[in-house]
């Protein structure tokens, strides 16, 4: 029995220990650009540049970006103050609009002349075009030319946009991005009940609100507390090298003249770089808009507090499917390509659906199909750990070690008793601000360690290594407990151990780290070197740690 419990404990803590391989944390959010309310206009440019990879290579690529000759866009979320939009970036700028907006996108083609025409497709919208020349799938901008696309953002959700011209090459080269449509009518319930308590908890510790909206859709069951955008793609450097060589060989040729066009084979396809928001691990865990990646402004590094409903906007770009696994919980899918997944009302007309009854599946891996977007909710509460994740000790003299856990109707320490997400009763701000807000009360005061060295309860099933030799790193605190007080108490009063995360991260961070990565083993490498590629870490931080998405 003890061996089984130790095995389970090891499996649960292994993701935390593996974080020692990695560097200090930066947050993610879903940054993007916006325009005038009701009539946003985006002035984009397509041009070449190099993007950086963690193996030291720079890969010649093409991307959409903001036209420097046009007025600067607005940036969201407003709490990120160092935002920028380069003239070429991968992925392209995230366009953030509101349901019902009349959207204009002006695209200027500054790709090499031999690359020929380019364009943008906006799947899910009825698009009208002005200027340019007719193409197979969309109106196209010739080299040096411009085309204008207009459409109405008819429904909320996350959708992709990408080149509709010679797509096998141009999407591979980096011409893709995302448009996020925010709901026009945010449900009132999003600011009451559990969501109000989560906002109160953030406010109690000085956190800012980095959401684009309070709900993903015009539906009370799509409310959320935090959000992240992940675009998965891959790159075959052989194709990029061939494009670069032909561009140089045809430099100075006249558009439309015989021979002034690229003939780059895109098969056989052997990608060596696997990207999250244009970066490979560990680069994807550096800050948004980091200067080291002038053409890769978006990162991928989710943080959350226990109990927060986290909206994941997940998009497949490129050629391949990518089976991405979010450790620590499944993802409840809300919608695909901006379409809520709803169930029918039992016993009624099959053509009638209940607009409040969501029916999306729970996914173990969010397998992304190229060109397909999905919105889903992820959360972590500590339920099922079978030990007190905060190291509470009823025999301690430390007041933080003896915090109470009063279960709500669902068994969590929230300060009120909601029975569903429409609860609109009072919020106990004292409980919401507590370090153990949203603790799973069934495990309160339940010991993990048989004979701990510190001020945590004894009598548990596991005998842990001394904290001085337990694997630690920039994120892992060296103890299986959330919160700085619990970490310090668990190391023992005479320990010389200093958690490594005090060297790199703010000293108050004592989070649990879980790997989020592709389940295709090759895709967690960079040029066949592990670790890399589609790999990042999700950190669960106790309430007192301020998650700052601007860093």
pLDDT tens string 114-157: 999 999 999 999 999 999 999 999 999 999 999 999 999 999 99
pLDDT of residue 356: 59
For the record, the structure tokens of 326 come out as 């979010």
pLDDT of residue 19: 36
Phi-psi region of 38 (alpha: psi -120 to 50; beta: other; left: phi over 0): left
Position 550 pLDDT exceeds 50: yes
Most confident of the following: 193-202, 303-312, 470-479: 303-312
Lowest mean pLDDT across 16-20, 210-214, 311-315, 518-522: 16-20
Burial string for 224-262 (b: 16+ CB within 10 Å, else e) reads bbbbbbbbbbbbbbbbbebbbebbeebeebebeeeebbb
pLDDT of residue 10: 35
Contact (Cβ atoms closer than 8 angstroms) between residue 88 and residue 50 = no
Under DSSP, is residue 15 helix (H, G, I), strand (E, B) or coil? helix
Q: How far is Cα 255 from Cα 232, in angstroms, rounded to an integer? A: 33
Tens of pLDDT, residue by residue over 74-92, are 999 988 888 999 999 999 9
Q: How far is Cα 321 from Cα 534, in angstroms, rounded to an integer? A: 12
Position 479 pLDDT exceeds 80: no
Tens of pLDDT, residue by residue over 340-387, are 998 866 655 555 555 557 888 999 999 999 999 999 999 999 998 999
More confident call, 206 vs 99:
99
What is the pLDDT of the chain when averaged over all its residues?
Answer: 86
Q: How far is Cα 327 from Cα 325, in angstroms, rounded to an integer? A: 6
Position 551 pLDDT exceeds 80: no
Position 525 pLDDT exceeds 70: yes
Contact (Cβ atoms closer than 8 angstroms) between residue 313 and residue 229 = yes
* pLDDT band of 454, cuts 50, 70, 90: confident
Contact (Cβ atoms closer than 8 angstroms) between residue 191 and residue 199 = yes
pLDDT of residue 478: 65
Q: How far is Cα 26 from Cα 14, in angstroms, rounded to an integer? A: 21
* pLDDT band of 15, cuts 50, 70, 90: very low
Domain assignments of the chain as residue spans, ordered by start: 194-229+299-378
Q: How far is Cα 540 from Cα 22, in angstroms, rounded to an integer? A: 16
194-229+299-378 CATH fold: Immunoglobulin-like (2.60.40)
pLDDT of residue 469: 64
- Whose tokens are 């309310």? That residue is 37
pLDDT of residue 326: 95
- Which of 101, 193, 113 has its CA nearest to residue 156? 101
Position 3 pLDDT exceeds 60: no
* pLDDT band of 21, cuts 50, 70, 90: very low
pLDDT of residue 549: 81
Lowest mean pLDDT across 213-222, 249-258, 457-466: 457-466
Most confident of the following: 171-175, 223-227, 300-304: 171-175
Under DSSP, is residue 167 helix (H, G, I), strand (E, B) or coil? helix
Q: Mean per-residue pLDDT for 327-349?
A: 84
pLDDT of residue 228: 96
* pLDDT band of 195, cuts 50, 70, 90: confident
Identify the bridge partners of residue 375 per DSSP, sorted by sequence position. 313, 335
Q: Mean per-residue pLDDT for 182-198?
A: 83
* pLDDT band of 277, cuts 50, 70, 90: very high
Contact (Cβ atoms closer than 8 angstroms) between residue 182 and residue 98 = yes
Q: Where are the alpha helices (DSSP H) in 205-350?
A: 237-249
Beta carbons within 8 Å of 317's beta carbon, 6+ residues apart: 91, 160, 162, 171, 176, 231, 232, 233, 370, 371
Whether this prediction's pTM lies above 0.85 is answered by: yes
pLDDT of residue 418: 47
More confident call, 524 vs 256:
524
């Amino acid at each position: 029995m003890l061996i089984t419990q130790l095995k389970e404990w090891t499996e649960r803590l292994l993701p935390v220990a593996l974080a020692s391989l990695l560097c200090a944390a930066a947050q993610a959010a879903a940054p993007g650009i916006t325009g005038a309310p009701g009539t946003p206009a985006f002035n984009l440019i397509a041009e070449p540049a190099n993007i950086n990879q963690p193996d030291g290579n720079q890969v010649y690529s093409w991307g959409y970006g903001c036209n420097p000759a046009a007025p600067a866009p607005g940036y969201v979320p407003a709490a990120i103050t160092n935002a920028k939009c380069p003239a070429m970036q991968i992925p392209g700028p995230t366009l953030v609009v509101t349901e019902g907006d009349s959207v204009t996108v002006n695209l200027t083609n500054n790709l090499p002349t031999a690359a020929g025409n380019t364009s943008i497709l906006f799947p899910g919208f009825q698009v009208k075009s002005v200027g340019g020349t007719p193409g197979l799938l969309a109106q196209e901008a010739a080299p040096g030319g411009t085309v204008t696309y207009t459409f109405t953002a008819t429904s909320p959700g996350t959708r992709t946009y990408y080149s509709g011209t010679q797509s096998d090459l141009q999407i591979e080269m980096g011409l893709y991005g995302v448009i996020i449509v925010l709901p026009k009518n945010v449900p009132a319930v999003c600011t009451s009940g559990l969501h109000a308590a989560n906002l109160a908890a953030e406010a109690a510790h000085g956190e800012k609100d980095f959401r684009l909206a309070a709900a993903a859709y015009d539906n009370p069951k799509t409310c959320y507390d935090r959000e992240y955008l992940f675009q998965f793609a891959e790159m075959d450097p052989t194709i990029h090298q061939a494009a670069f060589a032909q561009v140089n060989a045809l430099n100075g040729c006249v558009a439309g003249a015989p021979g002034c066009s690229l003939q780059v084979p895109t098969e056989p396809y052997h990608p060596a770089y696997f990207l999250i928001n244009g970066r490979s691990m560990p680069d994807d865990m550096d800050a948004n808009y980091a200067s080291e990646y002038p053409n890769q402004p978006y990162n991928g590094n989710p943080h959350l507090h226990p109990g927060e409903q986290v909206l994941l906007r997940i998009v497949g770009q490129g050629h391949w499917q990518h089976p991405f696994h979010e450790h620590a919980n499944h993802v409840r899918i809300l919608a695909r390509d901006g379409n809520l997944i709803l169930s029918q009302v039992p016993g009624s007309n099959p053509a009638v659906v209940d607009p409040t009854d969501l029916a999306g599946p729970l996914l173990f891996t969010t397998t992304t199909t190229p060109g397909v977007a999905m919105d889903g909710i992820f959360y972590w509460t500590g339920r099922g750990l079978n030990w007190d994740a905060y190291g509470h000790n009823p025999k301690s003299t430390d007041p933080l070690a003896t915090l109470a856990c009063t279960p709500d109707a669902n068994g969590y320490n929230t300060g009120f008793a909601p029975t569903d997400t429409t609860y609109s009763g009072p919020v106990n701000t004292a409980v919401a601000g507590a370090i153990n807000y949203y603790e799973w009360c069934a495990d309160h005061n339940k010991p993990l360690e048989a004979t701990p060295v510190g001020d945590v309860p004894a009598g548990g099933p596991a005998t842990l290594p001394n904290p001085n030799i337990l694997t630690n790193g920039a994120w892992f605190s060296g103890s299986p407990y959330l919160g700085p007080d619990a970490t310090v108490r668990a190391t023992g009063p005479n320990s010389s151990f200093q958690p490594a995360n005090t060297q790199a991260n703010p000293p108050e961070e004592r989070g649990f780290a879980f790997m989020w990565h592709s389940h295709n083993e090759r895709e967690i490498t960079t040029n066949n070197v592990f670790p890399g590629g589609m790999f990042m870490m999700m950190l669960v931080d106790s309430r007192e740690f301020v998650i700052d998405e601007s860093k």
